[in-house]
Amino acid sequence: MLFPLGDDNSQRTLTPYVTWSLIAINVLVFAYQLGNEPFTNGYSVVPYEIINGQDLTGPVRVGRNIIELYRGPTPIYLTLLWAMFMHGDWVHIGGNMLYLWIFGDNVEDKMGHVKFVIFYLLCGLLASATHILFSPNSRIPSLGASGAIAGVLGAYIVLFPHQTVRVIVPMGIFSRITELPAIIVIGLWGLLQFVGGFGTLGREGGGVAYMAHIGGFVAGMVLVFLFRNDEPRRAPGF
């Protein structure tokens, strides 16, 4: 698995205010989640709730564990938005925010601030919709910005396939820092999501909503053609 550290921002022209704001909102919501299980479990996406329009409460078995569901927002469909800014633990939010920090600014630069906000939220919603489609009866809460960020990655691989990305490459007990094109770094990430997603179909409790990642990734690759700004045309002879 490749661990990204940064990318080439030399062609960026816009200050990524939206990307920075999204990171700040995610961090603030996570801070509110700490020690607040009723909020976390109540405002996460539960596929069964969305399909049936019913707010579940009470204990639910997840593998060998029992988790408690609490009352969520009204209407319950608002969890589709809330869950996009919530995370399960420090590793979850740390990894997601790192990817958003590295890849979000360049995509925002190509779309502009307003269109990037709409694109990000739409990818997140479509990611959740994909997860619900494949697990409509699941009562396990799902949360995280992963689906929306997967959309950002999908857009990035279309817009900047040859952009250099600095990554840590594990080599046994050692590792090295090198640069690889985005099509390899993000392409490998996408491949792992497809393998993980279709390998876990019909099973619950794995801890990773792979189908949400896949849905967001594919949505980003498609929607980028609608949301990116057209390149300025050069006058003949220049």
Distance CA(129)–CA(182), nearest Å, equals 27
The domain defined by 3-227 folds into Rhomboid-like fold (1.20.1540)
pLDDT for 209: 81
pLDDT for 2: 82
Residue 234 DSSP label = P
What are 84's two structure tokens?
């996009």
CB of 143 closer than 8 Å to CB of 83 = yes
pLDDT for 188: 92
CB of 127 closer than 8 Å to CB of 150 = yes
Burial 127-143 (b: 16+ CB within 10 A, else e): bbbbbbebbeebbbbbb
For 168, the 3-state DSSP assignment is strand
- For residue 154, count other CB atoms closer than 10 A to its CB: 24
Q: What is the pLDDT of residues 169-191, one digit of tens each?
A: 887 777 889 999 999 999 999 89
Q: Which of these, 146, 104, 120, lies nearest to 16 by C-alpha position? A: 104
Domain ranges of the chain: 3-227
pTM check: above 0.75: yes
3-state DSSP helix/strand/coil % of the chain, to nearest 5: 55, 15, 30
CB of 157 closer than 8 Å to CB of 186 = yes
- For residue 105, count other CB atoms closer than 10 A to its CB: 21
pLDDT for 238: 40
List the chain residues with pLDDT less than 70: 197-208, 231-238
Residue 7 DSSP label = E
Strand-strand pairing, 65-69 and 58-62: antiparallel
pLDDT for 30: 97
